[in-house]
Amino acid sequence: MAELLQTRDYAQFRVVPRTPVIGGWIEGCNLAELDDAGLADLREALWTYGVLFGRGQHLSFDAMKRVALAFGDRLEKHTFAPTKADEGHPEVVVIQRLQTENAKSTTDLWHHDVTARKHPNIMSILQAEQVPFGADTMWASMSAAYERLPEALKALFSGIQVEHDSVYLMLRHDFGDAAIIERIMAAREHAVHPAVIRHHSTGKPCLFVGNAYVQRVHGYETELSEPLIKIAGEMSKIPEIQVRHQWEPGDVALWDNFGTTHYGVSADIGTQLRRLHRVASWSEKVAPEPYMALAAE
Ligand SMILES: [Fe+2]
């Protein structure tokens, strides 16, 4: 059993846990004002709590980028999502659902972001502009998910790798829009990652499968691959390892993209506007490494 989260005072802010296992409120600071020492503490806090939430932060896009760059030396440039490039911020992804009655949500599945890349995002910072009642976001701890696996399944998942593919994501989740499909096809991304990773900072084992880009267990027939992916996916659904955030305008959430999965609750929002902005960072020095050495193929 992992240690339960506690309230912790850092020099420039305090973190109060939202559950014993995952999530913490950041109190007593605006993230734009943290100096380098404050950002170093923020890093430590994120690896400890998995997700950090701040009320009423109202960060500028530049401030969001500065926070993200404290975690990885490169900012994400998303392949197909809409961005604020027209305002000089191509690194700011606009998370917005089309305002039509039959608009599909593409975030209501448990996933890590952009895992079809060799170097997925290390972390993301998401800020709410407007979110309808009920369209919450949920996160689940993947170190807790691993701990909860029976020993036999720990061993099994520690010995396999999973193929992640952006075209597969598109085909499975019916993105619909021809322009997006064209962009995804043109910049197809594909990567093979261990199903259990050693967290780059904490060293803890984390289940790293999710259910977005996941195509198949590497080297396994479909009949074996699909049930294993389903079992891994079930682990994100355990309420005891989750935290759920009800958004207010100006709220931010920062998450550890290697150690947690997330789920955008689609809710029945009809034509109401749901708009958030996301900045994420990554590094060529940080990739999902296997928790245990994998057998040679
Ligand atoms: Fe996501």
How many angstroms separate the alpha carbon of residue 109 from the centre of ligand 1?
9
CA distances to 23, 76, 189, 214 from 168, in Å: 31, 21, 10, 8
How many angstroms separate the alpha carbon of residue 261 from the centre of ligand 1?
8
Averages of pLDDT over runs of 10 residues in the chain (297 residues) are: 91 98 98 98 98 98 98 90 92 82 69 96 97 95 98 97 92 75 87 98 97 94 96 97 98 98 88 93 97 75
How many angstroms separate the alpha carbon of residue 211 from the centre of ligand 1?
11
pLDDT value of residue 293: 80
How many angstroms separate the alpha carbon of residue 154 from the centre of ligand 1?
25
How many angstroms separate the alpha carbon of residue 263 from the centre of ligand 1?
7
How many angstroms separate the alpha carbon of residue 96 from the centre of ligand 1?
12
In whole angstroms, give the CA distance from residue 274 to residue 286: 32
pLDDT value of residue 296: 59
How many angstroms separate the alpha carbon of residue 65 from the centre of ligand 1?
17
Q: Where are the domains of the chain?
A: 8-282
pLDDT value of residue 100: 62
pLDDT value of residue 67: 98
pLDDT value of residue 173: 75
CA distances to 57, 75, 153, 154 from 60, in Å: 9, 16, 44, 42
Give just the sign of the alpha carbon dihedral 187, 191, 196, 200.
negative
How many angstroms separate the alpha carbon of residue 135 from the centre of ligand 1?
14
Domain 8-282, CATH: 3.60.130.10
How many angstroms separate the alpha carbon of residue 218 from the centre of ligand 1?
23
How many angstroms separate the alpha carbon of residue 113 from the centre of ligand 1?
5
How many angstroms separate the alpha carbon of residue 28 from the centre of ligand 1?
27
Give φ, ψ of 226 to 5 degrees: -65, -45
In whole angstroms, give the CA distance from residue 174 to residue 176: 5
How many angstroms separate the alpha carbon of residue 93 from the centre of ligand 1?
11
How many angstroms separate the alpha carbon of residue 4 from the centre of ligand 1?
26
